[in-house]
Amino acid sequence: MDGASQPPPPKTCAIDVNDGAKTLHVPPGKTLFEVLNDADIHLPTICGGRGKCGRCRLTVLSGADEPTDAEKKHLSADQLKAGLRLGCQVKVNRDLAIRVPEEVLQARPFRAKLESVRDLTHDIKRFRFELTEPQRIEFIPGRYIKLHLPKAVDPSGASRAFSIASPPSEARRVELIVRLHPDGTCTNWMFNDLQAGQEVRFDGPYGQFGLTDGDAEMIWIAGGSGMSAFWSILRHLAEMKNFSRPTTLYFGAVARRDLYLQEELRGYEKQLNWFTYVPALSQPAEGDAWEGQLGLVTDVAARRLENVANVEAYLCGPPGMIDAGLAMLHAKGLGQERIFFDKFEHR
């Protein structure tokens, strides 16, 4: 009927992201994790936004409810007081002002298809993906992507982080070096079910790990699939004709069967007068006939590292190796400002 009152428009909440970098207008009811994910702003997660992993961290400047028990479990009182929250725990019930890491805001979604798989060791494979949409990726060597699990594998749509192993010059492809974790949902899917030609989704690039632009001598320490970031960096540097910073890569493995890319790394050692490769075995198997360095890779690096006055250290690998490496470097007198690391977690 003419003149009849119209229902009010649906209520929306405004979310200010990074001081106006983006503004979202969304219906109330979802979590920040869900709302941001819908807007292609992907917070880190292992549990798919269920409050179990504590990774989807952001800063809420205004508008949030009181912290949940899950947040109190993963965040300290000081962190909560400073506004740090878990995106999966913050309900969008009113206007919010938030701050997410710049790397998260700049990342974008990609589609790709698996081109090939190469066995590197008994439990490490190289996965090579061809980008389909968009068809190119730009990144700084050392960065990582987040690979999304299919809904059939994980209904929550969780993702896993993997360092990019390919150099930026191969912009139409992305390589990942992945180690199988027996209880890992993602790595079991990749090793056992992912087939050539199959489409995958990921977003990125993320991270702040990468080389400084200084001229200090560098030591790189890696273990397991932690080689991936250095494999990207090394190939990138090999393409630069004027690079000359002395660099030593220490790679730790248990036995000889756990070493990989040996021929390629020795080739770069011969080709590049600034690069030295030092593999180390902690427990050589009977019959390994190993004449190289013995012991934990951090101990091997400690034995060879004497003067740290003009040294920068970079570490990639499992948490135990990173922690041991940090302790060793600090004991040697290397300041935190010259140590950079990427601590791999369970995947």
pLDDT at 238 (0 to 100): 97
Give the span between the Cα atoms of 208 and 194, in whole angstroms. Answer: 29
Q: Which residues pair with 125 in a beta bridge?
A: 119, 178
Of 172, 171, 167, residue with least CA distance to 234 = 167
The percent of the chain in helix, strand and coil, each rounded to the nearest 5, is 25, 30, 45
**Strand 84-86 relative to strand 13-17, pairing:** unpaired
DSSP state of 191: H
The answer regarding whether domain 217-343 maps to CATH 3.40.50.80 reads yes
The reported pTM is: 0.81
* Exposed/middle/buried for residue 263 (C-beta within 10 Å: 0-12, 13-18, 19+): exposed
DSSP state of 226: G
Q: Are 317 and 344 in contact (CB under 8 A)?
A: yes
The residue ranges of every structural domain in the chain are 13-104, 107-206, 217-343
Residues 6+ away with beta carbon under 8 Å from 127: 114, 116, 117, 175, 176, 178, 190, 194
Q: Are 235 and 324 in contact (CB under 8 A)?
A: no
Q: Which two tokens stand for residue 340?
A: 């950079």
Answer whether 13-104 and 217-343 agree in fold: no
Other CB atoms within 10 A of residue 70 CB = 15
Mean pLDDT for back-to-back runs of 10 residues, the chain (347 residues): 54 93 93 90 78 89 94 94 96 95 87 98 97 96 93 86 96 97 92 96 90 93 95 97 94 97 98 97 93 96 92 93 94 92 67
Cα 33 to Cα 55, 78, 128, 131, 208: the distances in Å are 11, 22, 30, 26, 22
pLDDT at 208: 80
Give the CATH number of domain 107-206; options: 3.30.230.70, 1.10.3720.10, 3.30.450.40, 2.40.30.10: 2.40.30.10
Q: How far is CA 245 from the centre of its chain?
A: 25
Number of separate helices (H) and strands (E) present in the chain: 9, 17
| Residue 185: CA count within 13 A, CB half-sphere | 18
For 13-104, the fitting CATH number among 3.10.20.30, 3.30.1600.10, 3.40.50.620, 3.90.180.10 is 3.10.20.30
Alpha helices in 83-222 (DSSP H): 102-106, 185-192
Question: For position 347, what pLDDT does the model report?
Answer: 43
Helix axes 262-271, 227-238, angle to 10 degrees: 30
